[in-house]
Each structure stands twice: as C-alpha cells, then as structure tokens.
Structure 1
Amino acid sequence: MTIAPGTHLPNAKFKIMTANGPADVSTDELFGGKKAVLFAVPGAFTPTCSLAHLPGFIEHADDFKAKGVDVVACTAVNDVFVLDAWAKSTGAGDKIVFLADGSGDFAKAIGLDLDAGGFGLGLRSKRYAMLLEDGVVKALHVEENPSVAEASSADRLLADL
C-alpha cells in the first residue's frame, strides 16, 4: 500500500551524520509536533537528483521556513557516508537534513520503493515530495518518471503551503 494524504508516517529509523559520526533518528523524532517537508531522490549524485531536484529545495529552504516549515529533509536509499558527501558537495549546509535509508526500509514501508535494477542501481526510492504536519501526510507528489523532477519540485510543494 502506498502512503497517501491523511496517513501517518510509519515509525522508521534513518541514519544521519552528526559531529560524532553516524547516528539513528526516527520519524517520530524528526517530524513529531512539527511542520515538515520530506522529499526523496532515487540516488545521491545522480544527474536529475543533483541538477534538478535538490537545488530547488536548497534555494527555497528559507521560503519554506518563512511559511512555518520546521524541517526540510531529503531521503535516499544510500548510505549515510554517501549522503554526507553529497550534502557537503552541494553546499546544502544546515538547510536540508539528509536521511539515509540504506536498505530501503522506509521506502518499502511507505510503498514508494523503486526497482532501478535495469539501470544498475538496485532498490531505490521513487522521487516524491510531501508536506507533513506532526508526521501526518498533508500533500504528496510522486513522479511517474524517476528522471523528472516537476511534480515533486520545491516550487510545486511551496504552492501547497
């Protein structure tokens, strides 16, 4: 079953990079009691993710905050070290929280996993963006084509606020 507006995110764990190294963080810790943006990319350092999807969220991070968003987070089925390197290479700084879903457990739990084996990428997440309030999905935009970042763009999600 694919997650839908009105549904609460499952309690899942991600890896994040901290000053002390990798650490676990749960969906409840990240999104409980907060207004949040969560977007997913099929893979760090891939062309559409790096050139079209992530830059819009970096550029509009302050716009989201001005509209009451507490957290802007990006998840990918990559390990925490890859996401940390991607965050540093893009200059995302403290604007975006990068959530490693290394085995794709979260993507599978919300029904938005993607078999990208044909491209040599294995299990990945579909490209999407969602608006959350206290862990409940208020808006969800999933791309039909993983090489496109239009429905799941920062501009599109800002229109939902």
Structure 2
Amino acid sequence: MGINTGTPVRRVVTGHNDLKSVVQIDDQLNLIPGFASEAVTVWQHEKYPAELSNEDAAKGKTQIYSSGSLIRVVDFPPKAQGHNHRTLSLDYGIILDGELELVLEEGRTTIVRAGDIVVQQATIHQWNNNTDKPTRVVFVLLPSVAPEQNGKSLDDVGYPPEFKPTWRKDL
C-alpha cells in the first residue's frame, strides 16, 4: 500500500509487553468525509511529554487539535475549495501526493507539491486543490500559545464550535 490519495492509511503502533517491545496495533484506517476533504486521525494524546497508551489513543475522539499532539491524514479531492480557518497550533503539513494552493489572509498564494513541508504557525489559511488529481497530506499539530498582534490575542476561527478545545486556559 502506498501513500497515494484514496488508499486506506496503515497504522502500526508499538508498545511493551513483559518489558519487550511489541506491535500493539496494525490496522487500516479509512478516511471520513468533512470540510471539503476526507480525513482520519491516526493518533493523539493530551499531554506533553506524551503519555504512552496500550489503547487506541485516537478512537472516539474528534478534535481539530489536542493539548498534546495529533497526527492526521487528509485527502483533498480534485477541485476542492477549502475555507479560512485558524487553530492555535503549530502545524507541520507534509505533502505526500498531489498539489495544493495555500492561501493566506494577506492574499498571497503558494503552491505546494509532493515532498514539500509547510510549517504553519497559528495563521488564518485555506487549502485549495485546483488540480484534476487528489492530494494527500499528513498534518502533525502541536498546541501553541495564542499569537498576538498589536497587543491583541488572536483566537481560533473558522470551524464548528463543538470542535473547539475546552482545555485552553488562554481563551
């Protein structure tokens, strides 16, 4: 199984049993539709340093980002137009397959392609797939401090309130 868009995501999770390293989970995750894309959270945890788990740390949780870290695979279908949003997180976006247009608030657009990595620092942004081919991206999200501009603290914007983190002390 490759990294191509549209294929299930294979997840291999290691752990310990009787003080020896073992594979605890080896499964395939199917992506779920939403927000002009399909996505699946591969793993997440709520603390830093990371707590280790013998259970599926992503099962049953739907959050935009977590208080620890989160890794998600997102497939953007051809001609998908995203929406402006900001999470209070430091995001690493690794483009595995295809091409996306990154649109920032100031109006600048940047094309990113397979092999490119985007480091996004709690900015308002939008992802568009203007091509006739799907695009697959892996996102790793870490919580960040709220950015400040002109003495004003900026907030999360652009996604449903039920996904807004309740653990934020600075909001």
Shared fold per TM-score greater than 0.5: no
TM normalised by structure 2 equals: 0.23
Bigger Rg, which one:
2
TM normalised by structure 1 equals: 0.24
- Relative to total residues, which structure has the larger strand share, 1 or 2? 2
- Relative to total residues, which structure has the larger helix share, 1 or 2? 1
